[in-house]
Amino acid sequence: MRRLRAAAVLTAAVLAVLPAATPAHADGIRTQQWGLEALHTQEAWRTAKGRGVTVAVLDTGVDAGHPDLTGNVLPGHDLIGFGAGRGDRSWARHGTAMAGIIAGHGHGPGRQDGVLGIAPEAKILPVRVILEGSDPARKKARATRGSALADGIRWAVDHGADVINLSLGDDSESAHPEAGEDAAVQYALAKGAVVVASAGNGGEKGDHISYPAAYPGVIAVTAVDRFGTHAAFSTRRWYATVSAPGVDIVIPDPDRKYYSGWGTSAAAAFVSGAVALVRSAHPDLTPAQIKKLLRDTARGRPEGGRSDAKGYGTVDPAAALKAARSLRPGDPKAATAGYRQQYFGPGPARAVADDSAPGLLAPAAAAVGTVFLITAVLLWRRGRRV
Q: Which burial class, exposed, middle or buried, applies to 275 when counting CB atoms under 10 A from its CB (0-12, 13-18, 19+)?
A: buried
From the list 210, 234, 265, 272, the catalytic residue is: 265
* Residue of 59, 113, 253, 316 marked catalytic: 59
Q: Which of 66, 68, 90, 94 is catalytic?
A: 94
Strand partners, 222: 243
> Is-catalytic flag, 94?
yes
Cα gap 141→148, rounded to integer Å = 9
3-state secondary structure 189-223: HHCCCEEEEECCCCCCCCCCCCECCCCCCCEEEEE
β-strands 163-166, 194-198: how paired?
parallel
Kindly give the pairing relationship between strand 77-78 and strand 123-128. parallel
Residue-wise DSSP of 286-319: -HHHHHHHHHHH-BSPPTTS-BTTTBTSB--HHH
User: Of 81, 101, 72, nearest to 251 (Cα)?
Assistant: 101
Q: Which residues contact 346 (CB under 8 A, 6 or more apart)?
A: 238
Nearest alpha-carbon partner for 39 in 264, 300, 324, 349 = 300
Q: Is 284 annotated as catalytic?
A: no
**Residues belonging to the active site:** 59, 94, 265
